[in-house]
Structure formats: structure tokens, C-alpha cells
Amino acid sequence: MLETPSDWKVRPVRCVVCGKFFIRSKNWGERHCSTTCLRIHNTSRHAKYVARNQRRVRQNATSWKDRTWGRSGPQIAKRAEVIAETAILPKIGFTELINIAAFRRLVPFDIVGTLGSKRALVDVTTGNWKGGKYLKTASALADALGLPFYVLFVKPNMHHFALKPVEKGRGVYCSLDDLTVLEQ
């Protein structure tokens, strides 16, 4: 005796995102004709969730950053600039260092030094990401002067660092895999 296919395998249903009719391939619960429509549907659901729960989402992101990277503040940032000038940058190969942030806080970079035979600008940060208008201003200034521009990421515990170049004023992110241990 020949078996007839189940109703869900032959009856067309309408996709909840694009409205096209399709035949379910797996089970009764399918509501999307493709993975693209499924992704669109889940993205909109996630956006609604974030809009309704902004405080919780922000707290989760902050607590994750604090657990993996560490918490920073103005005193820690100033200490990181001093450690960068005295220990980190000379170890990397910078010479003739001038800590501009020590006497001028509103300059969009912290240290000017020589790397090899060329001057370079360095911005020291204790965060794991650097971007925004401040970085774009510093990058534009470095381009106008014809100097390379770097961001030195220093973890708030002062034991790890990473030096990354800035390209075209785009934000720079430092993952935990990029970090180098500072031996003191």
C-alpha cells in the first residue's frame, strides 16, 4: 500500500516576513521560507527586546566588560599614560617620547614619539574600544601632519597592552587575544 505524504509536506503556507508561499521542509512549526527571512524576523524581535529592556541590556554589557577587561577611571588612565611612556612604548621600540597629555589634556592624542626613523602619534586608553569624534579628529590631524597614528590599549590592571594602528579615523577594538603581557 502506498503511503501518502503528510499534510504539512504538501500544503503551502505563507512566510510571515515576505509573504511568499512555500512548502515546509521540516515540520509544522516552520514559518519562514528561507534563512534570510528567519534572520530578518529574529533581528526585528531582538531590536524590540533591546528597546523595551535598555537598562538590563546596558547592565549586562557593562558587567561583561568589567569581568573580562576591568573597570577604569581618571586616575587609572593617568597612571596608564605614565606606564606607557616609561615602560611599554620603549619596549616596543619608541624613542624620544613626549607625554603631551601631562601638560595639555585637550590634545586628541597623548604621546608623540619616534618609531624607527619616523615620528608617530599615540593615544593611550584603558578601555577596550576607541572611536567617535575624538578619534576622528586625532586621525585627521595625524593625516594632515603625515604621521602614523596608533592607539595603545592598556588593561586597567596595568599588566597587559596592545598597540593598534588607526586607519581612516575608524574605531579601533582590542580583543583579549591581541594583548601582550607587560613584564616589569
74-181: which CATH architecture? Answer: 3-Layer(aba) Sandwich (3.40)
Distances (CA, A) of 66 to 71, 174, 180: 5, 14, 19
pLDDT of 24? 82
Residue-range domain boundaries for the chain = 7-52, 74-181
Q: How far is the C-alpha of 35 from the C-alpha of 144, rounded, in Å?
A: 46
Pairing of β 180-181 and β 94-99: unpaired
Interval 58-108: pLDDT, tens: 999 889 888 888 888 889 989 999 999 999 999 999 999 999 988 887 888
pLDDT of 4? 59
- Which of 175, 133, 184 has its CA nearest to residue 155? 175
Mean pLDDT of 5-19: 78
Q: How far is the C-alpha of 151 from the C-alpha of 121, rounded, in Å?
A: 9
Q: How sure is the predictor about 111, in pLDDT bands with cuts at 50, 70 and 90?
A: very high
Interval 117-148: pLDDT, tens: 899 999 999 988 898 888 888 888 999 999 99
Map 143-179 to HEC letters.
HHHCCCEEEEEECCCCCEEEEEECCCCCCEECCHHHC
Distances (CA, A) of 19 to 16, 46, 101, 106, 146: 6, 21, 58, 55, 54
Q: How far is the C-alpha of 36 from the C-alpha of 41, rounded, in Å?
A: 9
What is the pTM assigned to this prediction? 0.71
